[in-house]
Structure formats: structure tokens, C-alpha cells
Amino acid sequence: MLTKNEIEKIGQEYINEIQKRTGIEMIIVSYRTIEKPYGFIYSYTSKKLFETKDDRYAVAGNAPFLIEKETGNI
């Protein structure tokens, strides 16, 4: 079983890959993270939307993602 820190690192690496593909700076919205017995569910958004609350910076199609505690699979 992975530690919470290991899982958070996997989540950040996943967000970094999305940033590379899109060219949009992304952040994990930590207060929306949900812990379940089987894993963590993370929400993310563009950094500009998070900072400004301006819907012009919303990212279409971004959905929360799950990281399994046992395997680290997303």
C-alpha cells in the first residue's frame, strides 16, 4: 500500500503531464480531495481559474481522477 505522500506525488506528476500537453498551468484543488478506503479522488483546474474565479479560464472536460492506494494506478 502506498503512503499519502507517494500518492500525492503521483497525482502531481499526472497534472504535470496534462500541463505539458495543453500548455495550461494546472493545480490540484486540495480541499476537494476525497479519501476512500481504496484510494484518493483528486480534482484539478487551471491555476488562473483558481486564482481569479473567472469562468473564462475554466478547462472543459477536466474530471476528477482516482489514484488507487494499493497500486498507484490512475
From residue 37, how far is each of 10, 68, 71 by CA, in Å?
A: 18, 9, 13
Is the pLDDT assigned to residue 25 strictly greater than 90?
A: yes
Give the lowest-confidence range in 5-14, 25-34, 36-45, 56-65: 56-65
Rounded average pLDDT over 12-32: 95
Q: Please report the pLDDT score of residue 61 as a whole number.
A: 86
Q: Is the CB of residue 29 less than 8 Å from the CB of residue 45?
A: yes
Mean pLDDT of the chain: 95
Q: Is the CB of residue 68 less than 8 Å from the CB of residue 37?
A: no
Q: Can you give the pTM of this predicted structure?
A: 0.90
Indicate the pLDDT class of residue 39, thresholds 50, 70 and 90.
very high
Query: 32 forms bridges with which residues in the sheet?
Result: none
